[in-house]
């Protein structure tokens, strides 16, 4: 289990309004071949659930979205998991998003910026 680092406790940006929402872990690898050849990456991505718990989320409040594992696509439209993540954030259900190599989370700059914008809107909410 991943522990919270000492400086994260004192200056934590995680507050009650975040913890009242879900923590979302987005797990993705582009191809089935990557799943077979890079199992450590998949394991590390699933371990992000433990990181959310260490930051204060109850384990049953961590949403693991892995619908896009082994699926390659040019746009996020074909990624039902990514669309689910965007929807949950847009509905203000998510207080934390965790992923590995977040710049690869979305397939294009447009998708990536839409996700960042939705997260920023949620940060400003009460």
Catalytic, out of 12, 30, 41, 103: 30
Residues 6+ apart with CB under 8 A from 84: 65, 67
Encode 76-102: b = buried (16+ Cβ within 10 Å), e = exposed.
beebebbbbbbebbbeeebbbbbbbee
Encode 29-54: b = buried (16+ Cβ within 10 Å), e = exposed.
beeeebeeeeeebbeebeebbebbbe
E strands, the chain, are 22-26, 62-65, 94-98
30 belongs to the catalytic site: yes
Write out the catalytic residue numbers: 30
């Amino acid at each position: 289990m991943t522990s919270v680092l000492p400086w994260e406790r004192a200056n934590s940006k995680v507050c009650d309004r975040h913890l009242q929402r879900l923590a979302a872990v987005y797990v993705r690898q582009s191809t089935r071949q990557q799943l077979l050849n890079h199992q450590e990456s998949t394991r590390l991505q699933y371990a992000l659930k433990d990181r959310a718990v260490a930051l204060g989320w109850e384990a049953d409040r961590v949403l693991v979205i892995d619908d896009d594992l082994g699926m390659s696509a040019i746009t996020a439209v074909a990624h039902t998991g990514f669309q689910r993540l965007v929807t949950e954030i847009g509905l203000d259900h998510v207080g934390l998003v965790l992923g590995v190599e977040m710049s690869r989370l979305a397939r294009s700059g447009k998708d990536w910026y839409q996700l960042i914008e939705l997260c920023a809107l949620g940060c400003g909410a009460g």
